[in-house]
Amino acid sequence: MRIVLTGGGTGGHIYPALAIGKRVVEEDESSSILYIGTPNGLESRIVPAQGIPFEPVEITGFRRKLSYDNVRTILRFLKGVRRSKELLRTFKPDVVVGTGGYVCGPVVYAAAKLGIPTLIHEQNADPGLTNKFLARYADCVAVSFQESLPRFSRTKRIVNTGNPCATNVVQASRDNGFNSLGLPNGSRIVLMVGGSRGAKAMNDVMVDMVPMLGRLPDVHFVFVTGESYYDGTMERMKAVMPRISNNIHVLPYLHNMPEVLGASTLVVSRSGASSLAEITALGIPSILIPSPNVTNNHQEANARSVADAGAAKMIIERELSGAALFELIYAIMTDGQRLNEMSTAALKLGMPQSASLIVNELNHLIEKR
């Protein structure tokens, strides 16, 4: 298979695309991949580091308010379409996959106009503007949440595949997760993480909870602060508790997040789409604190979907406090039946075969061509 992947701006768009590409190569080693992204976006660093050919296209997003900048964006879009057509004619892909972000617009649109089969993947419960626009041109829309299905009524084909990031995490070693933390297998772990860069509000709550954690002496608390917050968070924790307990583990970053996730009993997390895909694929109960600083507040919609299914509890950031969060952690961790019920609900949502389902759709599109 010759496949073009496109998606950019955030890891939430990039990593699902890479997971799809990985699965394509696993199923057919002779496959060729080209990734089209923006020249200065996160994808311009992440993708080449994976050894995948990368080509840039200049594009910016529309402003939600009327602005002269939108006229410039339209001109950049048209220029981006021309550039995308040149790249597509040269590479000659069998199929083009877009996973969101502004760069998907000209690439997927150009592919549709050239008669190349197209699939877009929507990670969030509330679809992004680019995917809403592209849905009318794409041959297939794959979604991660059941709630998204009615949002794409004008699409030729729509299918709930889940998020392909889930496929990677289920292959991780749970034993390695315990070993990397220096803990015996089977230890009860509460993992608290505010995303790859950390989240100030969640770090503040970590500090506030430290004096309360003695009420759960048999539980190990793993706090991931984000590298830029680590030193400051540690100083504040030591001010609260000069001698930090052996059951508290504070880390700036986790390079083996899938393995530690697999070892965790409960996860306290933001509600980005990829994180939720990994958590539910592993059947881990969670407490979700949606970031209020994202487009269209989509993390709250994601969290609500998982919470409504009984797999998670949600706390809105403006209602977050150390006491409130700890009491919820305590209630869940001391109720084995509740943990089991939440885990079962999470597994029902999880779709660990997501990447394979998407590749099946791609093969179907190619066969129909």
Residue 196 labeled ligand binder: yes
Tell me the pTM.
0.86
Dump pLDDT digits (tens) for 245-286: 889 999 999 989 999 999 999 999 999 999 999 999 999 999
Residues 114 and 192 occupy one common structural domain: no
Residues 203 and 140 occupy one common structural domain: no
Residue 10 labeled ligand binder: yes
**What is the arithmetic mean of pLDDT over 120-133?**
91
- Other C-beta atoms closer than 10 Å to the C-beta of 334 total 12
pLDDT band of 76, cuts 50, 70, 90: confident
User: Is the predicted pLDDT of residue 70 greater than 70, yes or no?
Assistant: no
Residues 197 and 77 occupy one common structural domain: no
Dump pLDDT digits (tens) for 84-116: 999 999 999 999 999 999 999 999 999 999 999
Residues 10 and 73 occupy one common structural domain: yes
**Residue 63 DSSP code:** P
Task: Please give the share of the chain, as a percent, with pLDDT higher than 90.
Answer: 80
- Other C-beta atoms closer than 10 Å to the C-beta of 78 total 11
Residue 299 labeled ligand binder: yes
Residues 343 and 357 occupy one common structural domain: no
Domain that holds residue 344: 171-349
Question: What pLDDT score was predicted for residue 68?
Answer: 53
Residues 211 and 327 occupy one common structural domain: yes
Give the CATH number for residue 184: 3.40.50.2000
Residues 345 and 205 occupy one common structural domain: yes
Residues 200 and 112 occupy one common structural domain: no
Residues 150 and 288 occupy one common structural domain: no
**What is the arithmetic mean of pLDDT over 334-341?**
97
Q: E strands of the chain, at which residues?
A: 2-6, 32-37, 54-56, 95-98, 118-122, 140-143, 158-160, 188-193, 219-224, 248-251, 266-269, 286-288, 312-314
Task: Determine contact, residues 118/337, Cβ cutoff 8 Å.
Answer: no
Question: What pLDDT score was predicted for residue 155?
Answer: 78
- Other C-beta atoms closer than 10 Å to the C-beta of 42 total 16
User: Is the predicted pLDDT of residue 321 greater than 90, yes or no?
Assistant: yes
Residue type, 182: G
Residue 356 labeled ligand binder: no
Residues 194 and 152 occupy one common structural domain: no
Q: In total, how many domains does the chain have?
A: 2
User: Is the predicted pLDDT of residue 339 greater than 90, yes or no?
Assistant: yes
The enclosing H or E element of 132 equals helix 129-134
Question: What pLDDT score was predicted for residue 67?
Answer: 54
Dump pLDDT digits (tens) for 145-180: 998 998 887 778 999 999 999 988 888 899 999 999
Residues 242 and 144 occupy one common structural domain: no
Residues 345 and 361 occupy one common structural domain: no
